[in-house]
Chains A and B, each alone.
Chain A
Amino acid sequence: MTVKTLTIDGKVLTGVAGESVFTVAWHNGIKIPRLCHVGGLSDVGSCRLCMVEIEGRGRLQASCVTEIEEGMVVRTDTEPLREHRKLLLQLLFAEGNHVCAVCVSNRHCELQDLAAELGMNHVEVDYLNPRRGVDLTHERFALDRDRCIYCTRCVRVCDEVEGAHTWDLTGRGGRLKLVVDMDDPWGKSTTCTSCGKCVQVCPTGALFTKGASVGSMEKDRGFLKYIVYARERQQWIKR
């Protein structure tokens, strides 16, 4: 196990070779914003909120997919980065229908939390007001596609942890669509095990438990660390 030393926001930190800049930062209390990363799942680097400045690299780097290197000097909270993140959040808010006041996840939403944390206090771009539709066919869960930010956490947890690969995306760009199986109604899925992992990892109110009302949908993805830990060590006992 090789240990590497690097500097993040002026702090000299160490991490194990192969770890990402993001992970080492979080272990040391530097909470880089993120929406697509979830510990225990593979990283895709798609939300672009965790981008950081690394000395000697011409471009900003997504910290979740950048491995630490000896002597690396990283800055996670500069003025340009804060501006980029605020604008990215604006794009997300305007792209879907994120109306917190009527959302099941109000006050328990990672998108909402980040907006508050990063000081995004208005939206300058045009609201697109999409009508992507709602899927209420599953007996226990529901999907509001207009609240989806395409972080693909549900796709990954279903594929990598549950092993069902019920979720996937179709289309591209602004016509992306989160789909069940071959774009079937969720309730008719032949692969869904109704485990609910997708609901728990979803950062917004896009996936929720049926019957939840405004603000009542609290999510818990604590299960992930047990499963991942058990898999890594081949120990299937919950401690």
Chain B
Amino acid sequence: MTPEELQERAKDELERQGALRERLHVCTAAGCMSSGSDAVKRGLTAAVEAKGLQDRVEVCGTGCLGMCSRGPLVKRQSDGLLVAEARPDELDAMLEPAITAPRAEGRVLEPSDPFFAGQHRIVLANAGRVDPERIDSYIAAGGYSALAKALGEMKPVEVLAEVRSSGLRGRGGAGYPTGVKWELVAKAESATKYVVCNADEGDPGAYMDRSVLEGDPHRVLEGMAIAGYAVGADHGYIYVRGEYGLAIQRLQAAIKQAEREGVLGPRIFDGNFRFQIDLRIGAGAFVCGEETALLASIEGLRGWPRPRPPYPPEKGLFGAPTLINNVETFANVAPIIEKGGAWFSSIGTEKSKGTKVFAVAGKVSRTGLVEVPMGTPMRHIVYAMAGGVPNGGKVKAIQTGGPSGGCIPDELLDVPVDYESLVSLGSMMGSGGLIVMDETTSMVEVARYFMEFCMDESCGKCVPCRAGTVQMHTILKRLVDGHATASDVGLLRRLADLLRATSLCGLGQSAPNPVLSALRYFPKEFEDRLAERNPAEAPVAEGTLPHAVERERLRIIS
């Protein structure tokens, strides 16, 4: 396919779509699929055929529409209305302009709803527009035109300059400037280079990357191809966790389509740039989200991290310079090339540009995916957009950054979403998990939960992480059970210091963060769990669990 043919293809598809009276976009991301969107899609399609409306109404799948708690969601193209908890037999109601019946049941969501109105969609822009299973649908939405522009009108250095000027930073959580990383790989001298997409999303409660892969796989492929052109690589890998079956399936289909259309493969747009993308499926190890462990895993080795330096841009996959970015980072690339770095850097704060996708979960009225401009106050996300705690409950704290992050108490929720502000509060941006906790949540139990996660996921290579997380978990367990002493808490802090300072990779270095931030903001909860305050909870013989009920109540995530 040539760039001209790409434009033709977009035009044809747009014409076809324009001739339709209505397009119904059924959310086919994993969240809505699990509440039956597949059946809704089949039911609506069958109804369209039964009524002979094929030429006027199209029912198509689309990426995550956001408000996962109200799935299955169906979006009407004509006015952007969303039908929540959609049913397979509702075609007539959905095609009726006033959409009376679902509205009467409170199942119609307006685009002006604060949940949607507060969003600024760049990464998720194609959710509700593009069918992830059809490349034409992506092309009609302007897909692959950024790649065509990069290859046809820009030199690799110009692509690098554009990405650099955009101010885009790594969306995996650490926030390393993407342009700087790309330039490092571009400058490295080697005949072989690789581009790797980290799709081993593993933080509990986080599913931003999954939604992007399921909803808009071509966007990631396009971003990787542009990256390959910019840094001089002709081979890319997507390392996706094995649990993401639907994402894997969509990616495989997308890669095949892209190769068939010549936007990936040996002669992209009939030019001289070649780029192939292969999938590698993770086998369920959290540590493989750490870049050096991920690269080892792609090489077929045990998924263990190795000390850095050398960093992957210098010596990465199979010893070659390697660019490794997160899914969301790559998803930002095509819009940056399309609209320019200046446009992107006009969004957000001074040091954090663009938008961030969060997966809002926990004790809020409306859970789901939101994409907000950097600088949005957390309070706005939690209260205005997600609707706060249901039934008049009070927010106690939120947790961001998963097992590497920390909690932010309600009184500090005015903190804007940007990398530095969150770190200064002892939390971090992380990949985008945002868990809301209410007054009934025990922060000691939250700390214990995350430590248990790190303990289970520690690869075991280095001593502090392997043995230290076990010891920290033991102490936290004692605190939860009301058996700990004040010296236990002192030891907990010393172990936290040790893990931070001496662990080999990010998993161990950041494992103490949830504990330290809980200690920082909720010291009283820890004091209240000391044995001296809980004489009634003296240790009991193994096998009997008098506090099981209490612990169950405290458990936030089962």
**A interface residue numbers (CB < 8 A to B):** 44-49, 51, 59-60, 62, 65, 80, 83-84, 87-88, 91-92, 94-95, 124-126, 128, 149-150, 168-169, 171-176
Contacts of A48 in B (CB 8 A): 462-464, 502-504
Is the Cβ of A172 less than 8 Å from the Cβ of B498?
A: no
From B502, which residue of chain A is reached at the shortest CB distance? A48
Is the Cβ of A171 less than 8 Å from the Cβ of B460?
A: yes
Is the Cβ of A173 less than 8 Å from the Cβ of B469?
A: yes
Total contacting residues, chain B, CB less than 8 A:
31
In the complex, 25 of the A-B residue pairs with CB atoms within 8 angstroms, ordered by the A residue number, are A46-B461, A46-B462, A48-B462, A48-B503, A48-B504, A60-B501, A62-B307, A62-B504, A84-B498, A87-B494, A88-B463, A91-B467, A91-B471, A92-B467, A94-B471, A95-B467, A126-B474, A169-B460, A173-B455, A173-B456, A173-B457, A174-B455, A174-B467, A174-B470, A176-B460
- Give the number of residue pairs across the A-B interface with Cβ within 8 Å: 92
The docked-state distance in angstroms from the alpha carbon of A62 to that of B503 is 10
Is the Cβ of B498 less than 8 Å from the Cβ of A88?
A: yes
Within 8 A of A (CB), among B492-512: 494-495, 497-498, 501-504
The docked-state distance in angstroms from the alpha carbon of A91 to that of B499 is 11
List 4 tightest A-B contacts by C-beta distance, closest first. Answer: A91-B467, A173-B458, A176-B460, A45-B307
The docked-state distance in angstroms from the alpha carbon of A88 to that of B465 is 10
From A89, which residue of chain B is reached at the shortest CB distance? B463
Is the Cβ of B459 less than 8 Å from the Cβ of A87?
A: no
Contacts of A176 in B (CB 8 A): 460, 466
The docked-state distance in angstroms from the alpha carbon of A197 to that of B458 is 29
Contacts of A94 in B (CB 8 A): 467, 471
Contacts of A92 in B (CB 8 A): 463, 467
A48, A128, A171 pick with most chain B CB within 10 angstroms: A48
Is the Cβ of B498 less than 8 Å from the Cβ of A45?
A: no
Contact partner of B463 among A46, A59, A60, CB < 8 A? A46
Cβ of B502 to closest chain A Cβ, rounded Å: 5
Contacts of B463 in A (CB 8 A): 46-49, 88, 91-92, 149
Is the Cβ of B459 less than 8 Å from the Cβ of A172?
A: yes
B456, B461, B464, B504 pick with most chain A CB within 10 angstroms: B461
Is the Cβ of A169 less than 8 Å from the Cβ of B302?
A: yes
Within 8 A of A (CB), among B462-494: 462-464, 466-471, 474, 491, 494
Check B127 for interface membership: any CB of A closer than 8 A: no
Contacts of B422 in A (CB 8 A): none
The docked-state distance in angstroms from the alpha carbon of A49 to that of B307 is 14
From A176, which residue of chain B is reached at the shortest CB distance? B460
Is the Cβ of A45 less than 8 Å from the Cβ of B504?
A: yes
Check B59 for interface membership: any CB of A closer than 8 A: no
The docked-state distance in angstroms from the alpha carbon of A198 to that of B70 is 59
The docked-state distance in angstroms from the alpha carbon of A128 to that of B287 is 24
Contacts of A128 in B (CB 8 A): 470
Is the Cβ of A173 less than 8 Å from the Cβ of B471?
A: no
Check B285 for interface membership: any CB of A closer than 8 A: yes
Is the Cβ of A126 less than 8 Å from the Cβ of B471?
A: yes
Contacts of B503 in A (CB 8 A): 48
Is the Cβ of B461 less than 8 Å from the Cβ of A44?
A: yes
Cβ of B386 to closest chain A Cβ, rounded Å: 34
Contacts of B285 in A (CB 8 A): 172
Within 8 A of A (CB), among B155-192: none
Contacts of A87 in B (CB 8 A): 494-495, 498
Is the Cβ of A88 less than 8 Å from the Cβ of B470?
A: no
Contacts of A171 in B (CB 8 A): 460
A62, A124, A168 pick with most chain B CB within 10 angstroms: A124
From B458, which residue of chain A is reached at the shortest CB distance? A173
Starting from the known contacts A44-B306, A88-B502, A149-B463, 20 additional A-B residue pairs (CB-CB under 8 Å) come to A46-B461, A46-B463, A48-B503, A62-B504, A80-B501, A87-B495, A88-B498, A91-B464, A94-B471, A95-B467, A125-B474, A125-B491, A126-B474, A128-B470, A150-B460, A150-B461, A169-B302, A172-B287, A173-B470, A174-B460
From B287, which residue of chain A is reached at the shortest CB distance? A172
Contacts of A45 in B (CB 8 A): 306-307, 462, 504
Cβ of A59 to closest chain B Cβ, rounded Å: 7
From B470, which residue of chain A is reached at the shortest CB distance? A174
Contacts of A65 in B (CB 8 A): 307
The docked-state distance in angstroms from the alpha carbon of A212 to that of B394 is 66
A44, A173, A174, A175 pick with most chain B CB within 10 angstroms: A173
